[in-house]
Structure 1
Amino acid sequence: MRSTDSDEARSRHRAVRGIKESLRELRSQLSMYNHQVGARLELRDVDLDCLEIVLEHGPLTPTALARRTGLHPATMTGILDRLQRGGWVVRERDAEGTDRRAVLVRALQDRNAELARLRAGMSTALDDLLGGYDDEELALLTDFLRRTTEAGRAATEDLARG
């Protein structure tokens, strides 16, 4: 291998390592941020995580939510009980389902305005940050984040399977 090839390989390795380190730092920072949001709302971290999934992908069955989070169904029952008591979600019969016992978990929008208010500062900061990127750069960032999310989802599923 020529000297320039090895220099390029080292440079690429440093760049990849830097991205991975930045992602770990981002994960930690977002975890701390979400913990503060949850504390203000009197929600446990896992409860807030589940609420966010229902907001983004709901309504969902409790089983689908448990699968998506990798949590045991009994654990999910406790989380949903707390979220329902707090006025964050409601469990409703699935009118379109074949099983009359089936329920869907739906987020209650009026209570979730509180969550949006707490997230407003971060949202504004991201708008300001992203304003410095052109459309092509935003597309690249979006693609990277989607693919990183999918890699994380696959790794989580692998760990959950044992």
Structure 2
Amino acid sequence: MSPASSGEPARRGRRFANEIKDSLRELSNQLSLLNHQVSGHLELKDVDLDCLELITRHGPVSPSALARRAGLHPATMTGVLDRLQKSGWIVRERDPEATDRRAVTVRALRDRNAEVFQLYSGMNSTMDELLADYSEAELKLLVEFLQRTTSAGRTATEALGSA
């Protein structure tokens, strides 16, 4: 093996790694644009839709835990929750298990989910078609990659939030 060819796999690996990172940035941009369109149709601010998604996925949740997860100041979170509650997307309920009687949890109202799902139905259908082309082993690899990438993003977000 010549010295020039021994470095070729490393160069190709770096090129693919850069293409993956570029693709992830472009995907992030496209999903942000899609979410912006969805929030507009729902008459929500983008941050409100983001928080609604977090509440739907991880709720019921306390406002302070939600603020930490979303990387928002508690006062900002209060405004977000006020808007979501006024629009009928969430409810605030007293937490019966909390020692502080003022403690509340926030939960999404499930009867509104259909509105959100309808707006994402085009993307979801396209994703179903796209994923049908992959083998079970390839899908498993994609799941692992996306989970690890999400974890890396969460770690980077937390590090920036605490800096």
Give the TM interval when normalised to the shorter protein: over 0.9
TM-score, normalised to structure 2, is 0.97
Distance 2:6 2:64 in 1: 51
Structure-2 residue corresponding to 1:135: 136
Distance 1:43 1:112 in 2: 14
1:5 is displaced (CA, Å) by: 2.1
1:4 is displaced (CA, Å) by: 1.9
Between Structure 1 and Structure 2, how many residues are aligned?
162
Distance 2:97 2:4 in 1: 65
Structure-1 residue corresponding to 2:68: 67
Q: Which residue identity is paired with 1:111?
A: R
Q: Which residue identity is paired with 1:87?
A: G
1:3 is displaced (CA, Å) by: 1.7
Distance 2:58 2:143 in 1: 19
Structure-1 residue corresponding to 2:54: 53
- Superimposed CA distance per residue, residues 68-98 of structure 1 (whole angstroms, 9 cap, x where no aligned partner): 0110000000000000001000000011222
Gaps of 5+ in 1: none
Structure-1 residue corresponding to 2:25: 24
- Superimposed CA distance per residue, residues 3-30 of structure 1 (whole angstroms, 9 cap, x where no aligned partner): 2221111111100000000000000000
Gaps of 5+ in 2: none
Structure 1's consecutive aligned runs of 4 or more residues displaced over 3 angstroms after TM superposition are none
- Identity level (%): 60
Structure-1 residue corresponding to 2:122: 121
Tell me if 1:99 matches 2:105.
Answer: no
- The alignment partner of 1:87 has SS state of coil
- The alignment partner of 2:91 has SS state of strand
Distance 1:120 1:103 in 2: 33
1:2 is displaced (CA, Å) by: 2.2
Q: CA RMSD in A?
A: 1.0
* Mapping 1:29-44, distance limit 5 Å: 29-44=30-45
Distance 1:83 1:97 in 2: 23
1:134 is displaced (CA, Å) by: 0.9
